[in-house]
Amino acid sequence: MKDPVVAGAGVAASIAAPAERGRVSRLTRWLESEKLLATVLLVPGMAILLIFIAYPFVMALWYSLTSIRVGDPGEFVGIANFAKAWNDTVFQLAFKNTVFYTFWATVFKLALGMWLALLLNRSFRFKRIIRASMLLPFIIPTVLSAFAWRWMFDPTFSVMNWLLYHSGVITDRLPFLSDGDWALWCAVLVNTWRGMPFFAITLLAGLQTISPDLHEAAALDGANAWHRFWHVTWPLLLPVTLVVVVFSVIQTFSDFQLIYVLTGGGPANSTHLIATYAYQVGVASGLLGEGAALSLFMFPVLFGVVWFQLRFMKRMEGH
* Contact residues for other proteins, defined by CB under 8 A: 211, 213-214, 216-224, 227, 231-232, 235-236, 319
What is the nearest approach in angstroms of other proteins to the Cβ of residue 134? 24
What is the nearest approach in angstroms of other proteins to the Cβ of residue 252? 29
Pick between residue 224 and residue 285 the one whose CB is nearest to other proteins: 224
Within 10 angstroms of residue 165's Cβ, the number of other Cβ atoms is 15
Pick between residue 72 and residue 216 the one whose CB is nearest to other proteins: 216
Pick between residue 23 and residue 315 the one whose CB is nearest to other proteins: 315
What is the nearest approach in angstroms of other proteins to the Cβ of residue 214? 5
Judge contact between 273 and 298, C-beta under 8 A. no
Q: Report the C-alpha gap between 310 and 176 in whole angstroms.
A: 39
Q: Is 268 left (phi over 0), alpha (psi -120 to 50) or beta?
A: left
DSSP H/E element including 318: helix 298-318
Pick between residue 172 and residue 213 the one whose CB is nearest to other proteins: 213
Return the closest-CA partner of residue 245 out of 314, 309, 319. Answer: 309
What is the nearest approach in angstroms of other proteins to the Cβ of residue 93? 42
Q: Report the C-alpha gap between 242 and 191 in whole angstroms.
A: 19
Judge contact between 39 and 7, C-beta under 8 A. no
Pick between residue 212 and residue 300 the one whose CB is nearest to other proteins: 212
Return the closest-CA partner of residue 252 out of 142, 136, 118. Answer: 142
What is the nearest approach in angstroms of other proteins to the Cβ of residue 231? 7
Pick between residue 102 and residue 233 the one whose CB is nearest to other proteins: 233
What is the nearest approach in angstroms of other proteins to the Cβ of residue 115? 22
- Spatial neighbors of 118 by CB under 8 A, at least 6 apart, are 207, 229, 233
Q: Report the C-alpha gap between 84 and 244 in whole angstroms.
A: 35
